[in-house]
Amino acid sequence: MARMTDEEADYWDEYYTKNPPKVSGDGKSGFFMKHKGSVVILDDLSASYLHARSESSNKTPSEIIGELVRKELKAAM
């Protein structure tokens, strides 16, 4: 992924300061909503893989992990 310019970073900082993301609070919207305070620790190889794949595919690590999980679940069925 390309790095942001200072101007882009300033824009997004101001934007999200004035417009914080809304979360449902329903306990169903994403991992951290369901598991408050949970942190996943990765080994160096996994972290390097996610970082490289993220940069090459312009996807977030969460998107990549989601794809991998769905692929594994599909293979198990």
Q: Which residues contact 38 (CB under 8 A, 6 or more apart)?
A: 31, 32
* Residue pLDDT, tens place only, 35-53: 555 567 778 888 889 889 9
* Residue pLDDT, tens place only, 14-32: 888 887 766 555 555 555 5
* Residue of 43, 49, 44 lying closest to 65 (CA atoms): 49
* Residue of 44, 43, 41, 65 lying closest to 53 (CA atoms): 65
Tokens found for residue 75: 């293979």
